[in-house]
Amino acid sequence: MTQRLGVLGGTFDPVHSGHLDSAAAARSAFGLDEVVFVPSNVSPHRPVNPHASAFHRLALVALAINGIDGYRVSDVELLRDGSSYTADTLRVLHGTGWTPSHIFFILGTDTFAEIATWHEFPDVLDSAHFAVIARPGTTIETALARTPSLRSRARPASTRADAGGRTSIFLVEAVTRDVSSTVIRRRLAARQSIDGLVPPAAARHIAAHNLYTEDDLHGHDQDHTRH
pTM: 0.91
The dihedral sign for the CA sequence 23, 27, 29, 30: positive
Each residue's pLDDT tens digit, 196-219:
999 999 999 999 999 999 766 554
Indicate if the pLDDT at residue 222 is higher than 60. no
Coil/strand/helix, residue 171: strand
Contact 205, 219 (CB under 8 A): no
**Confidence tier at 45 by pLDDT (50, 70, 90):** low
Q: Which CATH class is domain 5-178?
A: alpha beta
What are the residue boundaries of the structural domains of the chain, listed by start?
5-178
65 near 37, Cβ under 8 Å?
Answer: yes
Over the stretch 75-120, which tens digit does the pLDDT of each residue have?
999 999 888 999 999 999 999 999 999 999 999 999 999 999 999 9
CA-nearest of 192, 151, 51 to 132 is: 151
